[in-house]
Amino acid sequence: MTKKTKAGPKLLVIRNDKLGDFMLAWPALALLRQNLPQAHIAVLVPAYTAPLAERCPSVDQVLADPKLPGEWRNGRALAQLIKPAGFDAVITLFSRFDTGLGVRLAGIPQRYAPATKLAQFFYDHRIPQRRSRSEKPEYEYNQDVVLAYLADQGIAKPKPVEAPYLSFTPAEIKKQKQAFLKQHKIAVTKQLVFVHAGHGGSANNLSLGQYGHLIRDLDAPRKRHFVLTAGPDEEQQVKRLASLVQAPHSIFVSKDGLVEFAKHLAFADLFISGSTGPLHLAAALDRPTAAFYPRRRSSTALRWQTVNGADKRLAFMPPETAAESDMGSIDIGAAAARISKGLL
């Protein structure tokens, strides 16, 4: 996808890893668009997130990472992909060796990236960061790389940005919601609480039993309907969760791609999950979220904080008295009480 080329600089932004990581790059993309409205902004992403990237209002062009086996091989393929575009600068939010090699071989004159790992030597603008310390949210680390580029363009005090970073027209959402309610025979008066028990494996999660306990404690007769969501490979897991749930519920397995999944999340009254990609997708839509994180430094609620408004998010972790990855130590009853009071 390429929109009409604009008069400003041609910029390539790279965040070519998982869905959650990419959604946490949207505030950085918005920061660029807000402060350089005439820039041509392209993104390099994995093929599976490309359709979602095409819906990003800050993006003019989407390039799919070839993802060939071998860092040298993929680096050379990346160079062949991006060199013809003649980018003025590249902003790599999280660099790998193949990515750095590709932008260097492509001859992009200004190359920005965090000053971490061996890949930093492919860049001429290296931004010191200590992400391993997890001292602030990932989306702020991403924005810091953009801020360095903006500062070099003479923009010392950039205009701030805020959620939603992704949105659909009211007509799109109304149509999607009406069809969903009709299909699942749900009354229009019900609050829709989406619960996503699956995860990509990057962080510990609650057990299915804990999710069942949480839904039971959140159930308010005649008031709420629970939508148990799952990715294409999580259908059996969500069916097991459904067998534990007595509250009114439906199963929604996303099989039509991330954009269609996002359109469903856009009408959720609340989204509940562990630290996973769909959580950050819901947050980019500025939907209320309740998330469960381990206390391990690389996976904390601070490091992977969602990008929705501060009044629309709650986060839960194991207590200090428990092991950092002991999700079973989280008090589900107390969490349900806080969710009911703060978000529903």
pLDDT band of 201, cuts 50, 70, 90: low
pLDDT tens sequence across 138-152:
999 999 999 999 999
Say yes or no to pLDDT of 5 above 80: no
Q: Whats the size of the chain, residue-wise? A: 344
To the nearest 10°, report the CA torsion of 214, 220, 224, 230: 20
Say yes or no to pLDDT of 1 above 70: no
pLDDT of residue 117: 84
Who contacts 120 (Cβ-Cβ below 8 Å, separation ≥6)? 95, 100, 113, 114, 126
The answer to whether the CB of 128 falls within 8 A of the CB of 115 is yes
Say yes or no to pLDDT of 7 above 80: no
pLDDT tens sequence across 50-68:
999 999 999 999 999 999 9
Nearest 5°: phi and psi at 91?
-120, 100
Q: Is 51 exposed, middle or buried (0-12, 13-18, 19+ CB in 10 A)?
A: middle
pTM: 0.95
pLDDT band of 184, cuts 50, 70, 90: very high
Say yes or no to pLDDT of 332 above 70: yes
The answer to whether the CB of 223 falls within 8 A of the CB of 192 is no
pLDDT tens sequence across 262-281:
999 999 999 999 999 999 99
Say yes or no to pLDDT of 8 above 60: yes
Say yes or no to pLDDT of 226 above 90: yes
Task: Kindly state the DSSP code that residue 297 receives in the 8-state scheme.
Answer: G
The answer to whether the CB of 121 falls within 8 A of the CB of 97 is no
Position of tokens 């009211």? Answer: 170
Q: Regarding predicted confidence, which is higher, 200 or 205?
A: 205
